[in-house]
A = this chain, B = another copy of it.
Protein backbone atom coordinates (compact mmCIF):
# COMPACT_ATOMS: atom_id res chain seq x y z
CA UNK A 1 0.00 0.00 0.00
CA UNK A 2 1.69 3.21 -1.10
CA UNK A 3 1.00 6.92 -0.89
CA UNK A 4 2.66 9.49 -3.16
CA UNK A 5 3.35 12.87 -1.59
CA UNK A 6 4.45 15.80 -3.75
CA UNK A 7 5.84 19.20 -2.77
CA UNK A 8 7.08 22.26 -4.66
CA UNK A 9 10.43 23.99 -4.96
CA UNK A 10 10.84 27.51 -3.57
CA UNK A 11 9.31 30.32 -5.68
CA UNK A 12 8.41 34.01 -5.73
CA UNK A 13 11.75 35.07 -4.27
CA UNK A 14 11.70 32.69 -1.32
CA UNK A 15 14.67 30.45 -0.53
CA UNK A 16 12.47 27.70 0.90
CA UNK A 17 9.00 26.15 0.64
CA UNK A 18 7.30 24.38 3.57
CA UNK A 19 5.97 21.70 1.20
CA UNK A 20 9.49 20.76 0.06
CA UNK A 21 10.75 20.68 3.66
CA UNK A 22 7.96 18.30 4.66
CA UNK A 23 8.47 16.06 1.64
CA UNK A 24 12.20 15.83 2.40
CA UNK A 25 11.43 14.78 5.97
CA UNK A 26 9.23 11.95 4.63
CA UNK A 27 12.00 10.53 2.41
CA UNK A 28 12.97 7.91 4.96
CA UNK A 29 9.52 6.32 5.19
CA UNK A 30 9.34 3.13 3.13
CA UNK A 31 5.56 3.27 2.70
CA UNK A 32 5.63 6.74 1.14
CA UNK A 33 6.93 7.83 -2.25
CA UNK A 34 7.84 11.47 -2.69
CA UNK A 35 8.56 13.93 -5.47
CA UNK A 36 9.47 17.60 -5.46
CA UNK A 37 8.01 19.50 -8.40
CA UNK A 38 9.51 22.52 -10.17
CA UNK A 39 7.38 25.69 -10.08
CA UNK A 40 7.12 25.55 -13.88
CA UNK A 41 3.89 25.75 -15.83
CA UNK A 42 4.88 22.72 -17.96
CA UNK A 43 7.40 20.66 -16.02
CA UNK A 44 5.61 21.01 -12.65
CA UNK A 45 2.52 19.00 -13.56
CA UNK A 46 4.50 16.76 -15.96
CA UNK A 47 6.96 15.67 -13.29
CA UNK A 48 4.01 14.53 -11.15
CA UNK A 49 2.22 12.83 -14.07
CA UNK A 50 5.41 10.91 -14.99
CA UNK A 51 5.83 9.72 -11.40
CA UNK A 52 2.30 8.36 -10.93
CA UNK A 53 2.53 5.31 -13.28
CA UNK A 54 5.91 4.36 -11.81
CA UNK A 55 4.55 4.33 -8.26
CA UNK A 56 0.96 3.30 -8.98
CA UNK A 57 -0.04 4.88 -5.68
CA UNK A 58 -3.31 4.23 -3.89
CA UNK A 59 -3.39 7.87 -2.83
CA UNK A 60 -1.75 11.09 -4.03
CA UNK A 61 -1.43 13.99 -1.62
CA UNK A 62 0.02 17.14 -3.17
CA UNK A 63 1.39 19.86 -0.90
CA UNK A 64 2.03 23.51 -1.63
CA UNK A 65 2.50 26.89 0.03
CA UNK A 66 -0.23 29.49 0.37
CA UNK A 67 1.30 32.79 1.47
CA UNK A 68 -1.12 34.99 3.45
CA UNK A 69 -3.15 32.04 4.83
CA UNK A 70 -2.89 31.44 8.58
CA UNK A 71 -4.33 27.89 8.66
CA UNK A 72 -3.65 24.56 6.96
CA UNK A 73 -6.04 24.49 3.97
CA UNK A 74 -7.46 21.16 2.86
CA UNK A 75 -8.57 21.87 -0.71
CA UNK A 76 -11.96 20.60 -1.86
CA UNK A 77 -11.82 21.50 -5.55
CA UNK A 78 -9.45 22.11 -8.48
CA UNK A 79 -10.63 24.24 -11.40
CA UNK A 80 -9.69 24.01 -15.07
CA UNK A 81 -7.99 27.40 -15.13
CA UNK A 82 -4.48 28.80 -15.33
CA UNK A 83 -4.49 32.43 -14.23
CA UNK A 84 -1.15 33.27 -12.62
CA UNK A 85 -0.76 36.40 -10.49
CA UNK A 86 3.00 35.93 -10.40
CA UNK A 87 5.24 34.32 -13.03
CA UNK A 88 6.43 30.74 -12.54
CA UNK A 89 10.17 30.13 -11.90
CA UNK A 90 10.71 30.13 -15.65
CA UNK A 91 9.23 33.64 -16.02
CA UNK A 92 5.98 32.45 -17.60
CA UNK A 93 2.69 34.16 -16.70
CA UNK A 94 -0.54 32.66 -18.01
CA UNK A 95 -3.98 34.26 -18.04
CA UNK A 96 -7.45 32.75 -18.47
CA UNK A 97 -6.21 29.49 -20.04
CA UNK A 98 -7.61 26.01 -19.45
CA UNK A 99 -5.37 23.30 -17.98
CA UNK A 100 -7.00 20.63 -20.18
CA UNK A 101 -8.69 22.07 -23.29
CA UNK A 102 -11.72 19.83 -23.22
CA UNK A 103 -11.61 18.97 -19.53
CA UNK A 104 -14.51 19.57 -17.14
CA UNK A 105 -14.65 22.93 -15.37
CA UNK A 106 -13.55 21.41 -12.05
CA UNK A 107 -12.90 18.25 -10.06
CA UNK A 108 -13.68 17.70 -6.42
CA UNK A 109 -10.97 15.93 -4.42
CA UNK A 110 -11.95 12.37 -3.50
CA UNK A 111 -9.80 12.47 -0.36
CA UNK A 112 -11.74 12.26 2.93
CA UNK A 113 -11.34 16.06 3.29
CA UNK A 114 -13.81 16.46 6.17
CA UNK A 115 -12.21 13.67 8.21
CA UNK A 116 -8.71 15.04 7.55
CA UNK A 117 -9.80 18.49 8.68
CA UNK A 118 -11.45 17.16 11.85
CA UNK A 119 -8.40 15.06 12.75
CA UNK A 120 -6.02 18.02 12.32
CA UNK A 121 -8.37 20.21 14.36
CA UNK A 122 -8.50 17.60 17.11
CA UNK A 123 -4.72 17.93 17.37
CA UNK A 124 -5.08 21.66 18.09
CA UNK A 125 -3.78 22.84 14.69
CA UNK A 126 -5.61 25.63 12.82
CA UNK A 127 -7.11 24.13 9.65
CA UNK A 128 -9.89 24.91 7.20
CA UNK A 129 -11.72 23.21 4.39
CA UNK A 130 -10.82 25.49 1.49
CA UNK A 131 -13.04 26.18 -1.50
CA UNK A 132 -10.25 27.44 -3.75
CA UNK A 133 -6.77 26.18 -4.48
CA UNK A 134 -6.15 29.31 -6.57
CA UNK A 135 -5.35 29.30 -10.28
CA UNK A 136 -1.57 28.86 -10.09
CA UNK A 137 0.65 25.77 -10.11
CA UNK A 138 -0.94 24.26 -6.99
CA UNK A 139 -4.41 24.15 -8.51
CA UNK A 140 -2.92 23.02 -11.82
CA UNK A 141 -1.11 20.05 -10.31
CA UNK A 142 -4.21 19.05 -8.32
CA UNK A 143 -6.43 19.27 -11.41
CA UNK A 144 -3.94 17.41 -13.61
CA UNK A 145 -3.49 14.59 -11.09
CA UNK A 146 -7.23 14.04 -10.65
CA UNK A 147 -7.79 14.23 -14.41
CA UNK A 148 -4.98 11.78 -15.19
CA UNK A 149 -6.17 9.16 -12.69
CA UNK A 150 -9.95 9.46 -13.14
CA UNK A 151 -10.21 6.18 -15.11
CA UNK A 152 -7.45 4.27 -13.25
CA UNK A 153 -8.70 1.09 -11.54
CA UNK A 154 -8.74 1.14 -8.62
CA UNK A 155 -9.02 4.93 -8.68
CA UNK A 156 -6.51 6.55 -6.32
CA UNK A 157 -7.54 9.12 -3.71
CA UNK A 158 -6.16 12.47 -4.91
CA UNK A 159 -6.07 15.85 -3.21
CA UNK A 160 -4.12 18.90 -2.15
CA UNK A 161 -3.20 20.60 1.12
CA UNK A 162 -1.96 24.19 1.25
CA UNK A 163 0.45 25.16 4.03
CA UNK A 164 1.03 28.67 5.45
CA UNK A 165 4.44 30.27 4.86
CA UNK A 166 7.24 29.45 7.28
CA UNK A 167 8.15 32.17 9.83
CA UNK A 168 11.55 32.75 8.18
CA UNK A 169 9.89 33.22 4.75
CA UNK A 170 7.76 36.06 6.12
CA UNK A 171 10.91 37.64 7.56
CA UNK A 172 12.88 37.13 4.30
CA UNK A 173 10.18 38.90 2.31
CA UNK A 174 9.73 41.66 4.90
CA UNK A 175 6.00 40.98 4.96
CA UNK A 176 3.46 41.07 7.76
CA UNK A 177 1.39 38.07 6.80
CA UNK A 178 0.83 35.06 9.08
CA UNK A 179 3.09 32.03 9.27
CA UNK A 180 3.14 28.52 10.72
CA UNK A 181 6.08 26.67 12.24
CA UNK A 182 7.39 23.76 10.14
CA UNK A 183 6.78 21.38 13.06
CA UNK A 184 3.10 22.34 13.17
CA UNK A 185 2.57 21.95 9.41
CA UNK A 186 4.49 18.70 9.46
CA UNK A 187 2.32 17.28 12.22
CA UNK A 188 -0.79 18.26 10.25
CA UNK A 189 0.49 16.45 7.16
CA UNK A 190 1.33 13.35 9.21
CA UNK A 191 -2.23 13.34 10.56
CA UNK A 192 -3.61 13.70 7.02
CA UNK A 193 -1.50 10.74 5.86
CA UNK A 194 -2.80 8.67 8.78
CA UNK A 195 -6.44 9.46 7.91
CA UNK A 196 -5.78 8.60 4.25
CA UNK A 197 -4.16 5.32 5.28
CA UNK A 198 -7.15 4.39 7.44
CA UNK A 199 -9.52 5.22 4.58
CA UNK A 200 -7.52 3.00 2.23
CA UNK A 201 -7.57 0.16 4.76
CA UNK A 202 -11.32 0.51 5.26
CA UNK A 203 -11.93 0.60 1.50
CA UNK A 204 -9.68 -2.41 1.07
CA UNK A 205 -11.45 -4.50 3.74
CA UNK A 206 -14.84 -3.54 2.24
CA UNK A 207 -13.66 -4.82 -1.13
CA UNK A 208 -12.66 -8.12 0.45
CA UNK A 209 -15.95 -8.40 2.29
CA UNK A 210 -17.99 -7.63 -0.79
CA UNK A 211 -16.02 -10.11 -2.94
Give how many A residues have a beta carbon under 8 Å from the other chain's beta carbons. 38
Within 8 A of B (CB), among A56-97: 70-71, 76-77, 79-81, 83, 96
Q: Which residues from chain B contact A77 at a C-beta distance below 8 Å? A: 79, 81, 105-106
A-B contact pairs, 24 of them (CB 8 A): A70-B70, A70-B170, A70-B177, A70-B179, A76-B79, A76-B81, A77-B79, A77-B105, A79-B131, A81-B131, A96-B114, A104-B104, A121-B171, A124-B167, A124-B168, A124-B171, A125-B168, A125-B171, A126-B170, A128-B176, A131-B132, A180-B181, A181-B181, A181-B184
Q: Which residues from chain B contact A39 at a C-beta distance below 8 Å? A: none
Within 8 A of B (CB), among A108-150: 108, 114, 121, 124-126, 128-129, 131-132, 134-135
Q: Is A11 an interface residue, CB under 8 A from the partner?
A: no
Within 8 A of B (CB), among A159-180: 167-168, 170-172, 176-180
Q: Which residues from chain B contact A96 at a C-beta distance below 8 Å? A: 114
Q: Is A183 an interface residue, CB under 8 A from the partner?
A: yes
Cβ of B83 and Cβ of A129 under 8 Å apart?
A: yes
Give chain A's interface secondary structure class: loop
With A125-B167, A126-B171, A131-B134 already in contact, the answer to whether A183 and B180 are too (CB < 8 A) is no
Q: Which residues from chain B contact A83 at a C-beta distance below 8 Å? A: 129
A76 to B79, CA, bound (A): 10
Q: Which residues from chain B contact A104 at a C-beta distance below 8 Å? A: 104-106
In whole Å, how far is A9's beta carbon from the nearest beta carbon of chain B? 19
Interface centre among A96, A105, A135, A172 (most CB of B within 10 A): A105
Query: Beyond the given A104-B105, A124-B172, A132-B132, could you list 6 further A-B residue pairs with CB under 8 A, ordered by the A residue number?
Result: A70-B177, A77-B106, A124-B171, A126-B179, A167-B180, A179-B180
A-B residue pairs, 6 tightest by C-beta: A106-B106, A124-B168, A178-B178, A181-B181, A132-B132, A70-B178
